[in-house]
Structure 1
Amino acid sequence: MQTLEIIGTLIGLVYLWLEYRASIWLWAAGIVMPAVYVFVYYDAGFYADMGINVYYLLAGGFGWLMWLRRRSRPEATGLAEGAAPSDGAAVSEAAPQPEGAVLSAENAPAKNSTQTAARARTITGERTIAPMPRGRWLPLGAITALAFGVILWVLLRFTDSNVPYGDSFTTALSIAGLWMLAQKYVEQWLVWIVVDAVCAGLYFYKGLYPTAGLYALYTVIAVFGYFEWRRLMVRQRT
């Protein structure tokens, strides 16, 4: 199992680098890595973490699709929630009308050319980095708290886990963090800073030293990742 843990650690390093660079290929590593760690965590008795890696495995495909999903919104409203057009944002032009043609209300020229351009421009291609809308924090916090309670109850009642509270906490927070990552919200890094720091301590306590070292590195890189994503977000907007 030590060999499998080392393999998972190496894949985790690749995943970390791809996430830092906001590369969509992080989801490929994010599918392989949890498949390896399902067996590592089962052997170590981290049952909630084993379960969350099954979730990671399934969510990897969802996240990949979410990052590829095209956005097509008017620029005037498409930047709501902090979204910004990517470098390759396509600008659609209004089709020319033949002379003498009667213009309908839909294709009539706008009074303001700026409004016309804003209505014509669409955001396409890979999902862009954005801040998480304020209205989503409370529902996400409530769901995370509920997940923590359910996972803790399962561990206390049905398993022999000797770290049920820490395991439940990191698992519930990881569910929230992965959803935020799939939405490409910059604040997902703040969630991972907490998760990674707690996990590093738990894994060291359980003797999973390569994994503990990996998560300690995750904690440091997550801090840099937050500021890197903020820089990328600003660059996308400009």
Structure 2
Amino acid sequence: MKEIFDINSIFFTVLGYPMSYLEFFGTVTGAVATVLSARAHLWSWPVGMVSVIIFLFLFYQIQLYPDMFLQVFFFITNAIGWWEWTHPKTGEEDRRNELRITPLSSKSFAFLLGAGVLATAVLGTIARNLHEWFPVMFSLPSAYPYLDSFTTVMSIVATFLLIRKKLECWYVWLLVDLISTYMYFTKGVKVLGIEYGFYCLIAFVGAWHWTREYRSYTTTTA
């Protein structure tokens, strides 16, 4: 069992690429959690927590420490999302007694987008200058300081919208995934680009499914 959590323990090899247990099960559980989210299924949160724990072990062993700490954020938000969906306030529950899907007001959505753009400008400026401020740690300039910062900021926004089961979360995820797909392909990590292309499809399906469920509320109450 201990070997499964070792990045050097290979599960199988495909086209010459050695796939470790950690990478395989982390990717699979992450994809399953995303598909379940698109279906507004409660089990998306615990499955997502399993994926996060697996990736925490993976990132630690390949020395991607910022990504490792990001998994702590995702674990906490998964726990919050699980609680929010299962403990809706009075008037916020759906027919399954879970948090119901609701849209944001145009004003709130515009505010979030504006705040996201502002945060992107700040974070992007920092990312653009990291190689000058900390040349020992960052020998090369950031490849896409503002695009990368935008996807980071809006991923956080989309996560909190998902926690509150806001319909617009899938449109934000779609934008983030489209940009990420472009960045990964242009940087040569094409397998990751294909994965995010798959996430684009899931985001589209999620928007369609959530919209249909939201409209069903008015149908059942009419």
Q: Tell me the SS of whatever aligns to 1:129.
A: coil
Using CA pairs under 8 Å that are at least 6 residues apart, name the structure with larger relative contact order, 1 or 2: 1
Q: Is 1:34 equivalent to 2:52 in the alignment?
A: yes
What count of residue pairs does the alignment treat as equivalent?
191
Q: Which residue of 2 aligns with 1:86?
A: 94
Q: Which residue of 1 aligns with 2:106?
A: 134
Q: Which residue of 2 aligns with 1:14?
A: 32
Give unpaired runs (5+ residues) of structure 2: 1-6, 8-18
**TM-aligned CA distance change 1:212 to 1:151, over 3 Å:** same
Aligned pairs for 1:72-221 (under 5 A) are 72-73=90-91, 86-88=94-96, 125-156=97-128, 157=130, 158=134, 159=138, 160=140, 161-221=142-202
Between the aligned partners of 1:232 and 1:182, the Cα distance in structure 2 is 17
Q: CA deviation at 1:146?
A: 3.2
CA contact (8 A) 1:37 1:53 kept: yes
CA contact (8 A) 1:52 1:171 kept: no
Bigger mean CA deviation after superposition, 12-21 or 38-47: 38-47
What is the TM-score with the length of structure 2 in the denominator?
0.72
CA contact (8 A) 2:123 2:146 kept: no
Q: Identity of counterpart residues, as a percentage?
A: 30
Give unpaired runs (5+ residues) of structure 1: 74-82, 89-124
Between the aligned partners of 1:50 and 1:206, the Cα distance in structure 2 is 22
Between the aligned partners of 1:41 and 1:203, the Cα distance in structure 2 is 22
**TM-aligned CA distance change 1:53 to 1:167, over 3 Å:** farther
Q: Tell me the SS of whatever aligns to 1:12.
A: helix
**TM-aligned CA distance change 1:190 to 1:135, over 3 Å:** same
What is the TM-score with the length of structure 1 in the denominator?
0.68
Q: CA deviation at 1:202?
A: 2.3
Greater C-alpha radius of gyration:
1
The structure in which a higher percent of residues are strand is 2
